[in-house]
Structure 1
């Protein structure tokens, strides 16, 4: 995911450089257009002066240059409009890529948070399961301990351990295989 973000950021940086180049070219055309419009206005003023001075040939020459300049102005105005449209499209594309990067980051962060929460929840269930198993084992040990203590207390109360005949008669045989006695406790 991080590689995708870096790739998208590289694309965005490339788009922004292209946008800066395009804006620079548009500005150059604007400046050139302004100079040509200024020169056309000067030629118009020159033609008016020459007509006023009676120099019709000089006025025609100034107006001819003005017509040529107006054609150049028209061409530059078209070029300027094209550059401006391209700049607007590129700006929209850069904005779209930026939005996609932000959306991707939000989605990535959300997925990472969801994964962390799911992992923590799984770990919590595992711990609870393990604690339940431990509690069960402790209950078994406690039950066996109570049984052993009860058996020992019964021996103490009811019989004299030195009298083997009465001992067996009162308690029978304590066979470890029947699940009684200290060796039967869970390990």
Structure 2
């Protein structure tokens, strides 16, 4: 076999290996998105209209689940809008691993407990532009890791029970246009910039 044929054959083999690896990684990410949504469903303690119970099941594509929007090219979750569904439960830490998420709206429900403190850490939610958690029963501190979501344009945490101080890091979100923290138990700004 001449040098050109050997080079061509090795190039094809390398290309095939890269494509196979990329496809396997995409399948893993898709399965991961589904498992994150199922983790959220498992944290729902009340679904009075059976919206998630009857619709969110592993027997159907999660991209067809109510409140879930995926990008058409890679089948990754880009929007999660489960607002005003009467849901009760807590927000699992896994929600921060929806790495293609742009829009998250769980407003107008009865979610309680704390917002995961590292929701935006470790390059999580790097594409997130809108975060609406208003009109729930969330409590505790507002996570300082929110500043690590660099694309955030709108944060609505109003009408909850968040306490403590507003983390000063929140002002490091350079694209932020809307910040609504009204009707909480906040005491002012934190001065620590860690």
Tell me the TM-score normalized by structure 1: 0.29
- Structure with the larger RCO, 1 or 2 (CA within 8 Å, 6+ apart): 1
Q: Which has the higher helix share?
A: 1
- Decide which structure has the larger Cα Rg and report it: 1
